[in-house]
A and B are shown apart, each in its own frame.
Chain A
C-alpha cells in the first residue's frame, strides 16, 4: 500500500486526506453541543455573592443613560406588552437558553419576583456567562419602590429626604408617588404605558450594532 502511495505527489495525498476526513465526518456526529453543558457548581455557588442589583441602582443606570448592560424581561410577551422596565428587552425564559446573547456583556434579569429570574440566572451561568445579575425583588419591587414609592405618615426626616429623591425617580418613569400611606386600600394604580421598543430583535437592539456580516 505504501509503495503505491509513495510516488503520489503532495496534492494527491492531500486529496486523499481530505476524503478520509470527510468520510469520518459522516459518523462523527453533530457539531452542535450547546444543549449539553458542564456545570461547575462551586463556581456558581461562589458567584451568588455579588450578583444582585437593587431596583434603585437600576433606576439610576437608566436615568443616567448608562448603556453597558442588557436588561432582560423573562416574562412572556403579553405581560411584557402591558408594562416593562424601560431599556428592557423581552426574552421569555423558555427561549433564554437559545438566545444569542454575548458572553462578555453585563446581563440583568428580572421577572415578577426573584424566582423566575433566579432560574434564568442558573441557565445562563451554566452556559458559561459570567456577568449575570438579578434584579432583587423583580418587577414587584420595582413597582413598589420606584413607580409607587410610599412614605409613612410618621416617617423620620432621613426617610423623608429619601422619599423626595424617589419621587423624582418615580416621576421620571411615569409613576405616581404615594404620599398618603395610611390609606391601605389597594388603589388600582395605572401602570405607565410605554411605547414598545421599535424592534425586539436582539441583533439590532442595544447600544452597539455589532455588524458581523461582510
Chain B
C-alpha cells in the first residue's frame, strides 16, 4: 500500500526525476510569480508592515504541505521517514538566517524569487542573482577557514516534536494555530498601516 515517495521506491529513475524537477520547478516559479514575489517592492514591503504577502504565502504554503504530508503519512500512503530533511547545525543556521534576513531587506529578494524576478524582466533580479553567485563564491573561498564553525553544533536530523518531546500531531496543531493567528494579525496590521497612510 505504501509506495510513496515514488522515487524512493524505485518507481522511476534519475532521468525521469530530472524531468519531474523541471515540472515541479515550473509549478514553483508560476506560484511565486502569481503571488507577486517577482517584485522586490512587494517582498520588501513585508518588513515595513505595509504588505504582508510574504508571510501569508509562505505560511499558507507551509501549513498546506505540512498538513498534507502529515495526513498522507498517517493514512500510510507515504513513508515520511523517507522524505529527506536536512541535518540541523543550530548555530550556523541561526547566524546564516540572520545574514540572510539582512540580505533580504538589502537586496529585496531571496534566491528563488530573484529567478522569477529575472524571468519577468527585472534587472535588479538579475543583479541580485549575480550577487548570490558572488556570495557563494566568497563562501567557497573562505570555507577552509570557517569549516569548524560550519560544522559546529550538529544535532542531526531532528524535528520540533522530537526536540520538545511533543507528539507530532500536537505540533502540527500548534503550527496551524500560530499561522492562522498570524494571518489574522497580518490582515489587521495591513489595515492599520493603510489607515495611517490615509491619514497622512
State yes or no: do A and B touch (Cβ within 8 Å).
yes
B10 touches A104 (CB 8 A): yes
Q: In chain B, residues 157-200, which have Cβ atoms closer than 8 Å to a Cβ of chain A? A: 167-170, 172-177, 179-180, 183-184
One of A18-26, A85-93, A151-159, A186-194 contacting the partner: A18-26
Q: Is the C-beta of A178 less than 8 angstroms from some C-beta in chain B?
A: no
A177 CA to B74 CA in the complex, in Å? 56
Size of A's binding interface in residues, CB under 8 A: 29
A22 touches B173 (CB 8 A): yes
Q: In chain A, residues 1-57, which have Cβ atoms closer than 8 Å to a Cβ of chain B? A: 11, 15, 18-19, 21-23, 25-34, 38
A residues near B84, Cβ cutoff 8 Å: 212-213
Among B10, B71, B80, B179, point to the contact of A32 (Cβ < 8 A): B80
Report the minimum CB–CB distance from B76 to chain A (whole Å). 6
A18 touches B10 (CB 8 A): no
B residues near A27, Cβ cutoff 8 Å: 169
Decide yes or no: A34 and B9 within 8 Å by CB, A18-B179, A21-B67, A29-B169 being known contacts.
no
A18 touches B180 (CB 8 A): yes
Tally inter-chain residue pairs, CB-CB below 8 A: 87
A104 touches B172 (CB 8 A): no
Decide yes or no: A31 and B74 within 8 Å by CB, A26-B170, A128-B2 being known contacts.
yes
A38 CA to B168 CA in the complex, in Å? 23
Decide yes or no: A22 and B176 within 8 Å by CB, A28-B71, A30-B167, A32-B80 being known contacts.
yes
Among B81, B170, B176, point to the contact of A19 (Cβ < 8 A): B176
B180 touches A33 (CB 8 A): no
B residues near A205, Cβ cutoff 8 Å: none
Residue of A nearest to B180 (CB): A15
Decide yes or no: A32 and B81 within 8 Å by CB, A18-B63, A18-B67, A103-B9 being known contacts.
yes
Contact code string B60-84 (vs A, CB < 8 Å = 1, else 0)? 0001000101110110100111101
A25 touches B10 (CB 8 A): no
B13 touches A104 (CB 8 A): yes
Q: Is the C-beta of B3 less than 8 angstroms from some C-beta in chain A?
A: yes
Among A15, A25, A38, A105, point to the contact of B172 (Cβ < 8 A): A25
A residues near B71, Cβ cutoff 8 Å: 21, 25, 28
Q: Is the C-beta of A130 less than 8 angstroms from some C-beta in chain B?
A: yes
B residues near A100, Cβ cutoff 8 Å: 82
A30 touches B86 (CB 8 A): no
Q: Is the C-beta of A102 less than 8 angstroms from some C-beta in chain B?
A: yes
Report the minimum CB–CB distance from B15 to chain A (whole Å). 13
A29 CA to B84 CA in the complex, in Å? 21
Decide yes or no: A23 and B86 within 8 Å by CB, A34-B79, A38-B1 being known contacts.
no
A residues near B82, Cβ cutoff 8 Å: 100
A34 CA to B79 CA in the complex, in Å? 7
Report the minimum CB–CB distance from A78 to chain B (whole Å). 24
B176 touches A21 (CB 8 A): yes
B86 touches A213 (CB 8 A): yes
Q: Is the C-beta of B41 less than 8 angstroms from some C-beta in chain A?
A: no
B70 touches A31 (CB 8 A): yes
A residues near B169, Cβ cutoff 8 Å: 25-30
Q: In chain B, residues 1-33, which have Cβ atoms closer than 8 Å to a Cβ of chain A? A: 1-3, 7-10, 13
Report the minimum CB–CB distance from B162 to chain A (whole Å). 11
A19 CA to B174 CA in the complex, in Å? 9
B residues near A22, Cβ cutoff 8 Å: 63, 67, 172-177
Could you pull out 12 A-B pairs where Cβ atoms are within 8 angstroms? A25-B70, A25-B170, A26-B167, A26-B169, A30-B167, A30-B169, A31-B80, A38-B1, A102-B10, A104-B9, A130-B10, A213-B86
